[in-house]
Chain A
Amino acid sequence: DQQVKQNSPSLSVQEGRISILNCDYTNSMFDYFLWYKKYPAEGPTFLISISSIKDKNEDGRFTVFLNKSAKHLSLHIVPSQPGDSAVYFCAASGISNSGYALNFGKGTSLLVTP
């Protein structure tokens, strides 16, 4: 049962434009959300997170928005750079019988073209 869903397997954006990656979740007990970035042959790298008490968190070019009522979050990258080309995973955690494990989406492959 996939509790975190990334419905767009891939996204292509021109350099300098905004990249918007979306994520939906079904478990209302999730209260902490993270985005990870993954290059081929490497492990996921933590990018940015947001607690459910906030609706926005910003870190440089990366901003995560959380809409709790819609159970939706998004990652905005502005401006997009070719080095941002990677697979982006949305993850969530909360009270569950899996302790503090992260629940991951299947990822969105972002391609930033020059």
Chain B
Amino acid sequence: DSGVTQTPKHLITATGQRVTLRCSPRSGDLSVYWYQQSLDQGLQFLIQYYNGEERAKGNILERFSAQQFPDLHSELNLSSLELGDSALYFCASSVEETRHNEQFFGPGTRLTVL
């Protein structure tokens, strides 16, 4: 158990809908990262927050947004969903935001768009 929790575990929805994925980092971790893993793909970085502030963006679509709240949990919002958004979404956390910190991953949320 990494200490990172993600809810829900599974989510099935229809095209055009909007969903929210939730992540609670390990106790004491200030940095939260979101990654997407599509079929046959490695994990693709989406966005990072540090202590409530957006720090970096990767290949995140404009239909996607995220935020980190004062209690440090984070939410990833996916809107106008398309079939291609079906994927595993992982949240990871680390103590700081230096590149020499390993990131601890949650179990993921499997999103299926029908």
Contact = CB atoms under 8 A, between A and B. Distances in A.
Is B a genuine binding partner of A? yes
* Range of interface residues on B (Cβ < 8 Å): 20 to 34
Contacts of A12: none
Nearest to A97: B56
Contacts of A97: 56
* Range of interface residues on A (Cβ < 8 Å): 20 to 34
Contacts, number: 76
A15 B57 CA distance: 42
A3 to B, nearest CB: 10
Of A6, A45, A105, most buried by chain B (CB within 10 Å of CB) is A45
B58 interface: yes
Interface of B: 2, 4, 6, 31, 33, 35, 40-45, 48, 55-58, 90, 92, 94, 97-108
